[in-house]
Amino acid sequence: MTDQSPTPDRWPLFQAIRSVTTEARQSLKRTVNQTMVQAYWQVGRLIVEDEQQGKGRSEYGKQQLKTLSQQLTKEFGKGFDTSNLSNMRRFYLAFPNYDALRHNLSWTHYRRLIRIDNPLARDWYMQEAIDQNWSARALDRQVCKLYYERLLATQHHKQNLKPVLDEAAEKTSALAEKPEDYLRDPYILDFLNLPCGPFQETRLEQALINNLQSFLLELGKGFAFVERQQRISTEDQDFYLDLVFYNFKLKCFLLIDLKIGKLTHQDVGQMDTYVRIYDQHHDSPTIGLILCSEKSEAVAKYSVLTDSKQLFASKYLDYLPSEQELQEQLQREWLALANRETNQETEE
């Protein structure tokens, strides 16, 4: 006898019940998460207030946490070791205003956020995690890759020279809707595990496709992958774009050309051609990004890159630089920018 039972994907009743059950579980998870965050904040507040009443706060606090951990673990089980209690205490100190907490973030998110010393960066990462729906793992990855610092560095390329901290307050607000605020320099591609020796651009392209999820996270907010080696045509010639993405916030396409070695005028001219062809078929101005292993000051100064609002060149690194290395690189580029502006004023 043949089984006449409908398959799950074709049974409306099953689909409806599954939808209700899934939503209920998600709602329960959100409620549990909000309750946990609230409870841990309250625990942190109680610990800090109790410490402030004690003498010799440092040793007092350590001993209190150890004793408290033993008693709470005996009463409630796991979750109250000295390390976690210390995190709760730090949680309250980082976010003393309970109303500033965002309850759509998990405790795991907050455990990562409280390790960020710079309060401006911490608030920025918190908002980005919400806006971009970052998992706790994605948040940790972006913090470790100095996402905030590199974004500020990129924005400095288009502005007057100011200390990073003076401008940081402005940049933690909603970003302006212009391409330079969505692109950065450099891009960190350490997740590709590229070989130390020379290799072809096709290998770099394939590695990016194989690690597309990580690359999208590195690109930043609002990007979606469209196609690789996309063909665009003119009356007498075909061109092939290495990578094409679309940004939902800017409502425009991003064309990426991958280059191994030093940036050349030919690379810039080629990307300019791609962007002009693409613009003929789309309403919003297309962004062209040349992702190269080595930039050229001369090309940056004596090409359309200088004034164009659609063409950009960024360096990619196959390793994560230290914060000091990033600051040194930023300082070098600030000086180069200052020299270009001085030369322009002299010529005028």
pLDDT digits (tens, 9 = 90+) for 136-178: 888 888 888 788 877 776 654 444 434 444 444 444 444 345 6
pLDDT digits (tens, 9 = 90+) for 268-321: 889 999 999 998 888 788 999 998 888 777 787 777 777 788 888 888 877 766
Can you give the three-state secondary structure of 144-177, one letter per residue? HCCHHHHHHHHHHCCCCCCCHHHHHHHHCCCCCC
For residue 319, with 0-12 CB atoms within 10 Å meaning exposed, 13-18 middle and 19 or more buried, which class applies? exposed
Q: How confident is the model at residue 242 (pLDDT cuts 50, 70, 90)?
A: very high
Task: Give the model's pLDDT for residue 99.
Answer: 87
For residue 343, with 0-12 CB atoms within 10 Å meaning exposed, 13-18 middle and 19 or more buried, which class applies? exposed
The more confident residue out of 53 and 169 is 53
DSSP letter, residue 115: T
The Cα 131–Cα 222 span in angstroms is 10
The per-type count for the chain, helices as H runs and strands as E runs, is 13, 6
Q: How confident is the model at residue 67 (pLDDT cuts 50, 70, 90)?
A: confident
Task: Give the model's pLDDT for residue 235.
Answer: 80
Q: How confident is the model at residue 179 (pLDDT cuts 50, 70, 90)?
A: confident
Task: Give the model's pLDDT for residue 181.
Answer: 64
The more confident residue out of 216 and 200 is 216
pLDDT digits (tens, 9 = 90+) for 186-214: 777 877 777 666 667 888 888 888 888 88
Task: Give the model's pLDDT for residue 3.
Answer: 58
pLDDT digits (tens, 9 = 90+) for 217-226: 888 878 899 9
Q: Domain 175-321 classified CATH 3.40.1350.10? A: yes
Question: Would you tell me how many other CB atoms lie within 10 Å of the CB of residue 183?
Answer: 21
pLDDT digits (tens, 9 = 90+) for 73-125: 888 877 788 888 999 999 999 999 988 888 788 898 999 999 998 898 999 99
Query: Residue 12: which residues within 8 A CB-CB, separation 6 or more?
Result: none
Judged by phi (left if over 0) then psi (alpha if -120 to 50, else beta), residue 133 lies in left
Task: Give the model's pLDDT for residue 288.
Answer: 92
Task: Give the model's pLDDT for residue 93.
Answer: 92
**Coil, strand or helix at 245:** strand
Alpha-carbon torsion (296, 151, 160, 328), positive or negative: negative
The Cα 346–Cα 331 span in angstroms is 23
Structure tokens at 279: 């613009």
Task: Give me the amino acid identity at 13.
Answer: L
Q: What are the strands of the beta sheet with 252-262, ordered from one edge? A: 187-188, 311-317, 287-294, 252-262, 238-247, 223-233
**Per DSSP, what are the bridge partners of residue 252?**
247
Domain boundaries, the chain: 8-117, 175-321
Can you give the three-state secondary structure of 47-77, one letter per residue? HHHHHHHCCCHHHHHHHHHHHHHHHHHHHHC
pLDDT at 51 over 60: yes
Average of per-residue pLDDT across 310-333: 73
pLDDT at 261 over 70: yes
Q: How confident is the model at residue 339 (pLDDT cuts 50, 70, 90)?
A: low
C-alpha distances (whole Å) from 40 to each of 8, 50, 320 are 41, 15, 33
Question: Would you tell me how many other CB atoms lie within 10 Å of the CB of residue 43?
Answer: 20
Phi, psi of 320 (to 5 degrees): -90, 115
C-alpha distances (whole Å) from 83 to each of 32, 78, 114, 254, 285 are 22, 12, 13, 45, 51
Query: Residue 151: which residues within 8 A CB-CB, separation 6 or more?
Result: 171, 181, 184, 220
Structure tokens at 104: 């759509």
What average pLDDT is seen over the chain?
Answer: 77
The Cα 134–Cα 125 span in angstroms is 10
Phi, psi of 238 (to 5 degrees): -110, 145
The more confident residue out of 24 and 157 is 24
